[in-house]
Structure 1
């Protein structure tokens, strides 16, 4: 998830992330670099990033999935929005998709690693609060 570099104020800055699940119900998480100057350094998150000027969130998430992990999915569905109150201040649009590939074979361009994790394994991970909220909302509405 790239740090927002647009001239927009945090009140209007936007971003998009994708909760990607495999057929086993695991979620694809991204361990972010632990570097100064990046949002939520060293945290587990989902793939995504800030909107470029004039870009809508649907275009942003397709671009970010490709840029960060060379990932293309066919079934992106817009879910809801949550503001990153304790980080960038951006309004983040959450999307959902499914993908059943090998995450270790993806060409990771940002961050430390990608890993499918079972929902019960997320409690011990350090995850930004707005991402955890989004994952919990997604899990609460997903068919079992």
Structure 2
């Protein structure tokens, strides 16, 4: 089965660039620099909109949902779902993860495993992110992905 939507873009980007970064100096996916993007959004007083993962049906991937379900999708910001959203509250647990209808259990299982090893979780999810401090509609994660199917 081909990798859906944004995952395909990520795999192609990784294959094209092959250089691996470090925790201190992460490799920038498709040249995106989190701090620059966040600072630009804050200075312009606007929330980030990603060109690589746009809020549209293409990012969902083909043939993952029926046409009627695809057409019923509404993209929302966290504040539209929860009055006071939080990124992480009292750490993270594998029980915090809920899978929807898209076949992404493989990535969710990795996230669940990370919650059991705080050191690794802290490497993947930098601490400088929250909905209250310098929020600009953008978060970043440090991952290294290889696609081998």
TM-score normalised per structure 1? 0.27
Higher helix fraction (1 or 2): 2
Higher strand fraction (1 or 2): 1
Which structure has the larger Rg? 2
